[in-house]
Amino acid sequence: MLRPHAEGAATVGAEGATVGEVFAELTARYPGLAGQLTDAGGGLHKFVNVYRNDDDIRYLEQLDTKVESGDVISILPAVAGG
Amino acid sequence: MSSRFAEPALRLSERQYQQIVAHCYDGLPDEACGLLGGPMRDGAPTGYVTRVYPCRNADASARTYTVDSRDLLHAMRDAEASGGELIGVWHSHTHTDAYPSDTDVRQAVDPAWVYVLVSLKDGEPVLRSYRIREGTIRETKVVVERR
């Protein structure tokens, strides 16, 4: 769903000690992702859900959530309507 | 020959159709929602549905829906593990027509997706399918097939 902003890639590798650092690397590589992942205040965008493996990072430490080698970060836009 | 329908046609099995409609009735009085999985060709859904994923409506509302994000995660993983992708979403309208609302159009997340609406406003359910691209709604055919 966000692939058009990442040159069509479904899965990309990135490094960082936290989810926020991983996002910084991704947005440096794919500038179109910038407004999709974080809001104007630098927090997690409210229409995006981010999981570290099976855990929603909103209930961990948000963008400060630690990541380790091999963790899978899933970025899911909100699927919603009326 | 030109057609009023957009491509691709949505192709559901009878059982998938029944699963979708049953989940919509189960959700009453709230809106119900779920996801569709299927194969892609050249980056676009073929319209053939291989999996339906009934999901929780995180809004628990009769007026809006948000697919529970954990259900979305699991559906995405399953669709990809089976060689396809998520290709669309369905939700019910409990008291209005099977046509995308302004909110549905504004929040449409993926121009490649198929958006399925199920209206429960009358005695018989009405299921219709749409593409929503750059704010423009176009209906696609729905084929319910025995397989």
Which residue segment(s) compose the domain that A9 sits in? 3-77
Q: Does A79 touch chain B (CB under 8 A)?
A: yes
Residues 23 through 42 of chain B touching chain A, CB cutoff 8 Å: 33, 35
Whole-number pLDDT of residue A8: 78
B93: CATH: 3.40.140.10
Percent of chain B residues topping a pLDDT of 70? 99
Cβ of B109 and A51 within 8 Å? no
CA distances from B106 to A22, B47, B79, B86 (A): 29, 23, 25, 20
- Residue A18 inside a domain? The answer is yes
- Residue A82 inside a domain? The answer is no
Domain count, chain A: 1
Establish how many alpha carbons lie within 13 A of residue B63's alpha carbon, considering only the half-sphere containing its beta carbon.
2
A36: CATH: 3.10.20.30
Domain count, chain B: 1
pLDDT-based confidence at residue B1 (cuts at 50, 70, 90): low
Which residue segment(s) compose the domain that B28 sits in? 6-145
The ipTM, to two decimals, is 0.90
Mean pLDDT of B3-22: 94
Task: State the Cα–Cα distance between residues A77 and B7, nearest whole angstrom.
Answer: 24
- Residue B140 inside a domain? The answer is yes
* Residues 6+ away with beta carbon under 8 Å from A33: A2, A5, A6, A23, A26, A27
pTM: 0.92
Between chain A and chain B, the number of residue pairs with CB atoms below 8 A apart is: 57
Mean pLDDT of A56-74: 95
Question: Would you say B100 and A81 are in contact if contact means Cβ atoms under 8 Å apart?
Answer: yes
- Residue B1 inside a domain? The answer is no
